[in-house]
Amino acid sequence: MSDRADGSRMRIVYFGSGAFGLPTLQRLSQEHDLTGIVTQPDKPAGRKRKLTPTPVGEWAAEHAADVPIFKPSNVNVAEVREAVRALEADAWVVIAFGQKLGQELLRDRFSMNLHASLLPRWRGAAPINHAILAGDEVTGNSVITLAERMDAGLVLGQSERAIEPTQTAGELHDLLAADGPPLVLKVLDEKRTGALMPVEQAESLVTIAGKLSKSDGWVDFGVSAEECRRRVHGLTPWPGVSVAIEGYSVKLLRVETLDERSEEEGGTIMDAERGVVACAGGTTLRLIEVQPAGKRAMAWSEFARGRSVKRGMRIEGGPSC
């Protein structure tokens, strides 16, 4: 932990709700001075519908009890807007907040947003998922200014990370979250020293990462094994990819493509013990980890033994599964 005895500490107002920003929030609390935290309101959760704070709200209650915390349903209403603007701050840091900050709120404030893609690629709500779904080999984080259009601000800094074929969206989320603190701290230091060099995004290179829903949780074995791998990993842990195996509903958690070839129809189990499944174009996919409905996650081999899976059985996927 740094106490920044050189006088370089800055006053920060943090806007965030999701877990993606927690590593950065933690470092900001160590390296700089938090003068306010703004997050979404507590919401009912679980079977008992108990009011539950956001991950940021929970962190603030435990680690920043002396910092003013705001939980507005609309951060742009006049009362909230003026209270937040009255906080002394050198910078506003926004990460996975969940509300759009209006121009009246942002007026004459230095504000920046951490976004989990190499903008202008994958603007939108689900950049990590879409990077895997598209087969990108590299992704990263971008720190940008806030703009009227979503994720269209000036780029203040970026970091890169390779996407490994074994990684799920959940795992990549955590890695990119851990990459956030040094990038945000670097941009803040450049702001303090006057070294920032904002760069406009190339509109011709923009791609959109649309919001996902539960209805996206399927895979079609009538495409290549590589496309199946991307879909399973790109949608894990949420919304998750479910298939039916001899009447059993099973969520696929981790897979890998193989060099082995097959002449069977896509979705046919070629090797029950190893979990090898035929896909389009003669390609094959190996099922590594699965989760039967209502059960814990397990290795495919354990599931196959327990359900007496045999060669030639069919795995039914697709949107209607």
pLDDT digits (tens, 9 = 90+) for 3-21: 566 678 999 999 999 999 9
Number of separate domains in the chain: 2
Q: Are residues 74 and 196 in the same domain?
A: yes
Question: For 54-86, how does the pLDDT look when each residue is reduced to its tens digit (9 = 90+)?
Answer: 999 999 999 999 999 999 999 999 999 999 999
Q: Are residues 260 and 199 in the same domain?
A: no
Q: Are residues 143 and 271 in the same domain?
A: no
- Listed residues 209, 228, 245: the one ending a domain: 209
Average pLDDT over residues 204-231: 97
DSSP per residue over 133-186, as a string?
A: HTT-SEEEEEEEE--SSTT-S-EEEEEEEE--TT--HHHHHHHHHHHHHHHHHH
Q: Are residues 232 and 161 in the same domain?
A: no
> Is the pLDDT reported for residue 2 higher than 60?
no
Domain that holds residue 177: 11-209
Cα 127 to Cα 58, 132, 283: the distances in Å are 25, 9, 28
**pLDDT given at position 85:** 97
- Listed residues 209, 244, 259: the one ending a domain: 209
CATH number, domain at 51? 3.40.50.170
Q: Are residues 178 and 292 in the same domain?
A: no
Return the percentage of the chain with pLDDT > 90, whole number: 93
Q: Are residues 232 and 159 in the same domain?
A: no
**Looking only at Cα atoms, what is the longest distance across the chain?**
69
What is the rounded average pLDDT for all residues in the chain?
95
Average pLDDT over residues 157-167: 97
Q: Identify whether 2 is part of a domain.
A: no
Average pLDDT over residues 23-40: 98
Question: For 221-271, how does the pLDDT look when each residue is reduced to its tens digit (9 = 90+)?
Answer: 999 999 999 999 999 999 999 999 988 999 999 999 999 999 999 999 999
DSSP letter assigned to residue 30: H
Q: Within 10 Å of residue 8's Cβ, how many Cβ atoms?
A: 13
- Listed residues 156, 191, 209: the one ending a domain: 209
